Structure 1
């Protein structure tokens, strides 16, 4: 569908919905699945972008609807959706994604709108917009576009800077000419240019000013992530103690687990303050290790896509920043050296394959795409980023919800803070 009129129409429609007003709605007769468990015959009611009531008894639903919207009232009655037993989950949250539908989050306002639509149709109701390593002037300009969009639409949570403070030896698909040490003046420049939109930043803690930068970003309200690093166990521990609270795409672009050189993964395993990103596409991390990650990091996983512009598009030639990328069989690699260059994954696929191919329970898989990423950024509780906490289908939480086909995990309807996107 890349480049066709249907896609352009969907981008416009979804963008209008995202910046529109929240409307009251109700969903009934659903099979609710969230981190608290599976509940059949579930209903919920949303007002002003948040869930105000939920339950399982039909008489309670009717009484609550009559109290909130009396039949005698002249006001417009809310939409009521009969889920007919289909699955109802919280909206998915992707805290590490670079783009979709031939667009990157580095491509300004239009690129952000297009890439967001490409993920929203797959159930990602909230997204942190990951920016690739670029010259500082470019990264500052890209953050300005992210800040503009975050001020307009609740589905954009802010920016993730994946670079420029990465180890050359673990650069992956990042431009080596733009990598640099996080000197205080550079850190201050990024913070000032961000207008408060940076949510997380990936840093190699072993860089000369790495630990100092982790501490500085943490003090500024940004969540530092350890990744694209050559850090050993002790250095990773120092990074965590300085304020790092995320491990960027576990197993990728870092030292593995050695019995005499443990590396950063055991350091994170020992410290429950850290949430762990995982790319479940069967390519970045193969199925047996995905299953092991769910066992090791129970309730601390955040499924991510690390998706790039080719997501939702055909195989072919693309770019990541200024680097040429070839996508074959859905796998993206740099043309220059064959390094993996992100993914073409969407979160609905990540959740579905965790359940069907790896045997993860539906509750655990949904948790890793909802509460897990929300916890990584402190969005599971009242905060300054979103109006309401994210990650659960419960009163007081944001009305972010997905109706999905029973057993198919195909997303059919999407709401973000009371706004119907799909």
Structure 2
């Protein structure tokens, strides 16, 4: 069992800042964090001196379309590997792969590819970020607030289309971005909630009242 004690100049936790910090790690579990002066190096453990560095929890990216010259919509193992390896270099330890508005066929192909990758991603020791699931951004958005999303593939919200996405995701769907003011949004939001997705309002031209109604 590998045990290491990281001696950092500073450590940030969700609740506090620790100067001259010690972080005790056994295998892949952080067992303790506190002032280094109050910690004893376990027998046989490795101490890593990083007193000029700040240790922080890994970033979790809930909305990412690509990195390292690749796009999530490619939906291939090599593309997703490149994305997850690249973001890990900058402190991101997990992410939710985010689709972009495209044809139903292209979207389904990408979703199936991401789901397949998720099922195999732990079969390696290579340092890379973990894909926690899939974020559907589009096609149920406002054409007026579409940003870079291609208008020709934007469509009215459809519980049936969402169901096809969910089936392709094979249990890996996590977030749906939707414009709540668009015709058909309410039943689609209900279907997404029933499936356990987090609902995100985005690319929307909703009024305050429409937004409040969607959250009710």
Give your verdict on TM over 0.5: yes
Question: 1:5-58 deviations in whole A, cap 9, x for unaligned?
Answer: xxxxxxxxxxxxxxxxx9643312430123312111211122342211222143
Tell me which residue corresponds to 2:48: 81
Given candidates 58, 61, 65, the residue that maps to 1:94 is 61
Tell me which residue corresponds to 2:150: 175
Question: 1:351-401 deviations in whole A, cap 9, x for unaligned?
Answer: xxxxxxxxxxxxxxxxxxxxxxxxxxxxxxxxxxxxxxxxxxxxxxxxxxx
Change in CA separation of 1:60 and 1:101 when aligned onto 2, cut-off 3 Å: closer
The SS at the match of 2:135 is strand
**1:149 and 2:128 aligned:** no
| C-alpha contact (below 8 Å) 1:32/1:87 kept by paired residues | yes
* TM-score, scaled relative to structure 2: 0.88
| C-alpha contact (below 8 Å) 2:13/2:56 kept by paired residues | yes
Given candidates 138, 142, 149, the residue that maps to 2:106 is 138
Tell me the CA shift for residue 237 of structure 1. 0.8
**How is 1:193-232 mapped onto 2 (pairs within 5 angstroms)?**
193-232=168-207
Tell me which residue corresponds to 2:6: 27
User: What is the number of equivalent residue pairs in this alignment?
Assistant: 208
Return the alpha-carbon distance in structure 2 between the equivalents of residues 182 and 138 of structure 1: 17
Given candidates 54, 67, 73, the residue that maps to 1:106 is 73
| C-alpha contact (below 8 Å) 2:18/2:34 kept by paired residues | no
| C-alpha contact (below 8 Å) 1:211/1:238 kept by paired residues | no
| C-alpha contact (below 8 Å) 1:40/1:85 kept by paired residues | no
* Greater per-residue strand proportion: 2
The SS at the match of 1:132 is coil
Return the alpha-carbon distance in structure 1 between the equivalents of residues 111 and 4 of structure 2: 34
Tell me which residue corresponds to 2:35: 56
Tell me which residue corresponds to 2:125: none
Return the alpha-carbon distance in structure 1 between the equivalents of residues 131 and 184 of structure 2: 30
* TM-score, scaled relative to structure 1: 0.47
Tell me which residue corresponds to 1:190: 165
| C-alpha contact (below 8 Å) 2:7/2:36 kept by paired residues | no
The SS at the match of 2:51 is coil
Return the alpha-carbon distance in structure 1 between the equivalents of residues 151 and 2 of structure 2: 47
| C-alpha contact (below 8 Å) 2:10/2:19 kept by paired residues | yes
Tell me the CA shift for residue 166 of structure 1. 0.6
**How is 1:4-403 mapped onto 2 (pairs within 5 angstroms)?**
24-62=3-41, 65-66=42-43, 71=44, 77=45, 79-107=46-74, 108-151=76-119, 152-153=121-122, 155-241=130-216
Gaps of 5+ in 2: 123-128
Alpha carbon RMSD of aligned pairs, Å?
Answer: 1.9
Gaps of 5+ in 1: 1-21, 72-76, 242-422
Question: 1:131-174 deviations in whole A, cap 9, x for unaligned?
Answer: 11111121111111211222224611111111011111111111
Return the alpha-carbon distance in structure 2 between the equivalents of residues 23 and 116 of structure 1: 25
Tell me the CA shift for residue 103 of structure 1. 0.7
